[in-house]
Each structure stands twice: as C-alpha cells, then as structure tokens.
A and B are shown apart, each in its own frame.
Chain A
Amino acid sequence: MSILVNKDTRIIVQGITGGQGAFHTEQMINYGANVVAGVVPGKGGLDFNGIPIYDTVDSAMDENDANASVVFVPPAFAADALFEAFDTSLELVVAITEGIPSHDMMKVNFSIPPHARLLGPNCPGILTPGETKLGILPGDIFTPGPVGLVSRSGTLTYQVASNLTNSNLGQTTVIGIGGDPIIGTNFIDCLELFEADPDTKVVVMCGEIGGEDEEQAADFIKENMTTPVVGFIAGRTAPPGKRMGHAGAIVSGTGTGTAQSKIKALEAAGVSVGQTPSEVTDHVKKFL
C-alpha cells in the first residue's frame, strides 16, 4: 500500500508547457504517472505530447476526472494557480514552485477547502515507488518496500532514499513537504498517514533547522505513534540569523529552531536520530 498517491491517481499539470513543467511531466509519465490534462492560460485546445491542454483548471476538470494536480507555475502567478486549483474538487495539489511570497502562501493556506490538501510549496513532490510520482523526484533511486519517508529537503531525501534502496530497504511512499516557512502538509499530517498505513513498518523523518515543526512532530509521535520513527536533522552547524538556502531554514537570533532542540525533542519522544545519513539506514535496519 501507499499513502496519498498510487497508480490510479489522475493528474493535472498546471504550467505543463514551461521549461520545468514540460521536462518533469515527461519524467512523470515515463515513471508511470497517469497525467490526464495540462493547464496553461491561453493555450487551451492545444496538446502536450497528446495530453489535452486547457485554459483553466475548471475546464480541465469538466472533461477529465482528475483528483490531483502538480503546479510548476512561476512564483508571481503561483498563488493564483493554487486558488484556482482549490476552487475545484481536486483532492491533492502539489506545489513544486520555489520562491512564492509568504504573504501569498498564508492566504492560500486559509483558502484550502476541507476536501483538499496542499503539498509544498518549494518541495520535490511525492512518489510511490513503482506506481506514480507527482513532482521532480528522480524515479530510479526508489524501490517498493516497508519504509515511509518524509522530508523537508529534496536532495537530502534523495541521499537518504538512495542509501535505503542500496541496503534493500524499499519505500511505501516518499514525500517532500518543502523548505518554506509556510507550507501545506506538514510532518504531523504525514506521520498520521504513515501510522494508518499497514504496509509502512518504519517511518524516516528528515527535518532541518528553523521553525518548530519537528518539535511538534515529536509531541505527536510520543502520543500517537506505534510505528517506529527514525529521524535526521540537517543544520547542526548553522549559525544563527543566516538563511541556509531554504527560506525556512534559519535559526532565529533568539536561538529557536536549532538542530539541537529538535534532536532533543525527537529523542525524548523515542525517535532514533541518526548523526549521519548512513546511521539513518542502520537505525532503520534495527526495526525490520
């Protein structure tokens, strides 16, 4: 089994003809994703490699029974694309776009209807090995298996997943929740889904400095999870006040959001925290 997405997920790509959108849509299709439509304002009626393009998400939904969308729309127009997606019956919207202003994302987050979920923005997306991918994760480093993987960072996810795969530890579903301060789906949402998935035997959670999401996740794990969790936190050596690449990856001047506080909270919740990515693999082995 898997969480959120599988081979039956019917996908719309918003921004399907842009550089990123076009390249990754092809990669998604090659991986097995069921892309049913694209949306590009002004290009309705055309097609992308045989996939019909529509001017609006609404018109794409009229003719295609999609349930998820992937958004590659540039930052200045991304919020509008997300509002548009959430005005339909779409259940999952994956925002890949990096650099959407936080003020926009706050408003988007307050506009998500109860039936829908946002993943991202500034995330690599979500992939269920052997079935489908929505986003930009490189397909060939994943393999099916019992490990649920959730992470704030893209390439760190790849590093950890690749270590797991090389040790014959496959994955149920791999989710990148994104490195921005304001995101849709968070760690707790994913942990809850993995906990409910009978095929996920261990969860790996990769956090990083900034914010308090990892601390809150630790509370959740302590109170609600029976599935073992292995953790990793990036940014132990980051100096306060400096943004380490991701907009959200910053230790505040007053010292909140440090890796140390996150590791301490996770360990107190019974999570095995790896000091290095390869230690993460070692911890996972103990539980399988």
Chain B
Amino acid sequence: MRLHEYQAKSVFSDGGIPIPPSGLANSVETVLEETNRIGYPVVIKAQVHVGGRGKAGGITLVQNDNEAEIAANKILGMDLKGYLVYEVLVEQAIDFVDEIYLGVTLDRSSGMPVAMVSSEGGIDIEQVASSTPDAISKTYVNPLLGLSDSQAKTAVLDAGISPTLTDKVANILLSLYNIWETSDATETEINPLMVSKDGDVIATDAVLNIEDDALFRQKKLADLRDTRNNNKLESKADLYGFNYVRLDGNIGIIGNGAGLVMTTLDLVDHYGGKPANFLDIGGGANSVRVENALEILFEDENVDSILFNIFGGITRGDEVAQGINDALENFDTLPKPIVVRLDGTNAKEGMEILNTDHLTVESTLESAVQRAIELASKGGD
C-alpha cells in the first residue's frame, strides 16, 4: 500500500525527520490560504500515487498569488498518468545547494534490509542507479539487530557526502530505518534530502510503502488508504477478496493459484490472444466465489470471452462444477461466451455434472485457451 507524499511526511515528521512547512489543499481558495500562511516561494505538488510527478507536470514552483492560482487550476483535477488529482500539497520552497538520496528497502536475494545513500539525489536517481550504481552506497543490515550508529555514519561517508554533514545525515538515515521497521514498510525513501547553504538538511519528498500483509497490525496506516483512483472493477475484486489485475486485452481469465493463472495469461499471449485480466479465485471455488468472479468479468466491457481454468488440487473438480452450475442458474442466456477447463482432483466427476447448455468445455489447458481466443474474435465481429 502506497502512502501519499503528505501522509508519508507526517509519519517522517513524527519520526524525527525535518520537513518543510506545508499544508494540504483541494481548491484554488485553500491553495491561496496555504501559500499566504507559508509565504512565497512555494511548491504546489499533486498528491497521486505515481512516480515522476514533476516531469509529468504535477509539480510547480510559484512566486505569487497569480502564479499560484494558475498552477492550482491546472493541477487540481488534472489527469496525471491516469490518476485524477484531488489534492495538492502546498509547501515552502527550499533554497538548496545539494540534493542527497536516502532509502531503505528489503533486499530479496539476501533476505536483509538494505540502507542506501547517494550524494547524487534528485529526479535522476533511477538513472544514477542504473548507469553508475557505485554512486549509491548500500549497507546490508542484520534484521535482528537493526541499523547501528556506526553503520549509518559509514554509509554516509562512503557515499562521498561532505564530512561536515555526516552526523546530521546519519541521524536522518537512522530515523528512516526506524520508520521502515516500525511501519512494516516495503520501501521508504527521501529523494531529495535538500542541503541548504547554511548546512541544514530537510526532506522535500517522501516515499513510504507499507506491506499489504502487515496491514492487520498497522491499523493507523491502513486507515490512510486512498481508493478514490482505484478502478471500479479492482475495487469490487478487492471487496470479494480476489487477487485481480486488470490488463488491456479482451480474454477474461479466471483460475486458481497465482502461478497457474499467470501461465494461463502467458498461453493466451502464446496463441495470439490478449488477456483482459489476472483473476485468482483462490482455493475452494464455491458457487458464491464463482458467481462473484463472473460478475466482475461480465461487467468488464473489454471482455469478449471468458476462460475458466481450474486445476483441482485440494479443491475438488465436482465442487467447482457445482459452483459454476449454481452461478449460471441466474442467467437465461450468458452475456459472454465461457470456456471451462477442469483438471486434477475429481475433474472427471466435475465434467459429468457440469451443465454445458451455455458453456464450452475443453479438456486441456492449451485447447481451452485456443477456444477462448476463437470465441472472443467471433464476439468482436
């Protein structure tokens, strides 16, 4: 789960990291109230869950009321890479001489937290990471012990940051690590940490992403979730407890188990079709879950045919077939053609009871995929 910049900054501030004076605004009037409270120059920043906001036109530096009004009018309500901007952060502009990058993330290969520092902070950090990875100092941390003072100082010195700033930056890195740990973050980032000509450091951007699996014990952060920009179908899938990702093709996919569903999408592509979604119905596909899954795909206007691929492991094929029968009882005619393929435990029994009046049945994964593609192209005519 991603937090907005203003939400992350509030967590940072509580954790002892200095941030500029700022306020949230959702209209031209409130933007002007904030700019006058803070004092020009200020930066107006779109609060949406996308990277590269500045380059996309979502961040503007303004010097007076006139410029602020123009910027507020432009940014509020704009579509930023598919996300509607509901709020902006109005923040004091900082006069800086240097930009530092700090980050803490989880390194999968080692299974350890890694603290990162670079003297080349700013909007091109990803470029820095790929072209000159050595410019980012990386410190692997024993998760049982946490980041130590000496590790933090060494990391900052290794990054080539001026020794006069070592203690200040190291302390911020320690705070960032603590925030990462106590909020069950997957990653957290300050980019940039600005250095003023007087040698003060201040975090002018903030990234804090929380692991979904840990939200059960991060209630305060979980409450900050902003779903206003979620796709309607994704919200519905969320409600039903499905793993669902909407894609841009026209073959709707329902299956059980992440690896098998991914494989089904790949096969659709392999045979020249385009998948409309990833939908993992999970174990125990009873009629309610089958019905809910079908509802999402029926509502998706991009979907021309539906492929239902279940490999009965512990889930029994006959139960799934019953689920499909029950779910389809509510329809006289199906809004979209459905191809069903059942395999594994009790698949034969399942096929026997499956009501095939409205359905196409295939016995292998490959033939089912090809059939679904064929039916989708007919539907598109």
Residues of A within 8 A of B (CB): 23-24, 27, 75-76, 99-103, 105-107, 109-111, 124, 136-138, 140-141, 151-159, 162, 179, 181-182, 206, 208-213, 216, 232, 234-239, 242-249, 253-254, 259, 275-278
How far in angstroms is the closest Cβ of chain B from A16?
A: 17
Given A159-B263, A159-B365, A275-B270, does the pair A212, B109 have CB atoms closer than 8 Å? yes
Are B259 and A254 in contact, CB atoms less than 8 angstroms apart? Answer: no
Stretch at the interface among B169-177, B211-219, B293-301: B211-219
Pair B260/A155 contact, Cβ less than 8 Å: yes
Asked whether, in the complex, the Cβ of A244 is within 8 Å of the Cβ of B262, the reply is: yes
* Distance in Å: Cβ of A95 to nearest Cβ of chain B: 14
What 5 pairs between A and B have smallest CB-CB spacing? Answer: A153-B259, A245-B258, A155-B257, A156-B259, A101-B214
Per a CB cutoff under 8 Å, which of B51, B216, B243 touches A75? B216
Known contacts A102-B106, A182-B106, A245-B278; is-contact A208 B259 (Cβ 8 Å):
yes
Contact of B311 among A23, A152, A158 (CB under 8 A): A158
Indicate if the CB atoms of A103 and B181 lie closer than 8 Å: yes
Chain B contact residues (Cβ within 8 angstroms of A): what range?
A: 35 or more
Q: Contacting B262 at CB < 8 Å: which of A105, A234, A275?
A: A234
- Given known A-B contacts A138-B312, A239-B247, A247-B213, A181 and B106 have beta carbons under 8 A apart: yes
The reply to whether B260 and A103 contact each other, CB–CB distance below 8 Å, is no
Instruction: Give Cα A155 to B314, complex, Å.
Output: 10
Q: CB < 8 Å: which of A103, A211, A246 contacts B258?
A: A246
Min CB distance A211 to B, Å, is 5
Residues of A within 8 A of B312 (CB): 138
A209 and B262 contact, Cβ closer than 8 Å, known pairs A101-B214, A102-B213, A156-B257:
yes
Note all chain B residues with C-beta closer than 8 A to A27.
314
Binding site for A on B (CB under 8 A): 51, 106, 108-109, 111-113, 126, 129-130, 142-144, 181, 184, 186, 211-214, 216-217, 243, 245, 247, 255-263, 265-270, 275, 278, 280, 311-314, 343-345, 364-366
What residues on B are CB-neighbors of A99 within 8 Å? 213
Say yes or no: A277 contacts B263, CB within 8 Å.
yes
30 intermolecular pairs with C-beta atoms under 8 Å apart = A75-B213, A99-B213, A101-B211, A102-B106, A103-B181, A107-B143, A110-B143, A111-B144, A138-B313, A153-B259, A154-B257, A155-B260, A158-B257, A158-B260, A158-B344, A159-B343, A212-B108, A213-B109, A232-B263, A235-B262, A236-B266, A237-B262, A239-B245, A243-B243, A244-B243, A244-B262, A245-B258, A245-B280, A246-B259, A278-B365
- Least CB distance from A275 to B in Å reads 6
Measured CA separation A109–B143 after assembly (Å): 10
Please, which residues of chain A bring their CB within 8 A of the CB of B143?
Answer: 103, 106-107, 110
Which A-chain residue is minimally distant from B145 (CB atoms)? A110
B266-A244 in contact (CB<8A):
no
A213 to B110, CA, bound (A): 10
Q: A100 and B108: CB pair below 8 A?
A: no
Assembly CA distance A136 to B265 (angstroms): 25
Chain A residues lying within 8 Å of B106, measured Cβ to Cβ, are: 102, 106, 181-182
Chain B residue contacts of A107, Cβ below 8 A: 143-144
Q: Please indicate the chain B residues that have their CB under 8 angstroms from the CB of A211 in the complex.
A: 108-109
Which residues of A sit under 8 angstroms from B261, Cβ to Cβ? 244-245
Q: How far is the CB of B363 from chain A (nearest CB, A)?
A: 11
- How many Å lie between the Cα of A261 and that of B260 in the bound state? 20
Q: Is the CB of A76 within 8 A of B314?
A: no
- Chain A residues whose CB sits within 8 angstroms of the CB of B268 once the complex forms: 237
List the A side residues contacting B259 at CB < 8 Å. Answer: 151-157, 179, 206, 208, 234, 245-246, 249
Contact B144 A110 (CB under 8 A): yes
Give CA–CA (A212, B111) in the complex, Å: 12
- Which residues of the partner chain B approach A156 to less than 8 Å between Cβ atoms? 257, 259-260, 262-263
B313 near A158 with CB under 8 A, answer yes
Quick one: closest A residue to B269, CB to CB? A237
Cα A158 to Cα B261 in complex, Å, equals 13
Contact of A102 with B211 at beta-carbon distance under 8 Å, contacts A137-B313, A152-B259 already known: yes
Which residues of B sit under 8 angstroms from A239, Cβ to Cβ? 245, 247
Known contacts A106-B143, A235-B266, A276-B267; A244 and B245 CB within 8 A of each other:
yes
Closest to B364 in A: A278
Question: Do A245 and B314 touch (CB < 8 A)?
Answer: no
User: In the complex, which of the residues A110, A209, A259 has the most CB atoms of chain B within 10 Å of its own CB atom?
Assistant: A110
Q: Using A75-B213, A155-B259, A245-B261 as known contacts, say yes or no to A106 and B266 having CB atoms under 8 A apart.
A: no
Apart from A156-B257, A278-B365, list 7 A-B contacts with CB within 8 A.
Answer: A100-B213, A141-B313, A159-B343, A208-B262, A242-B245, A277-B263, A278-B364
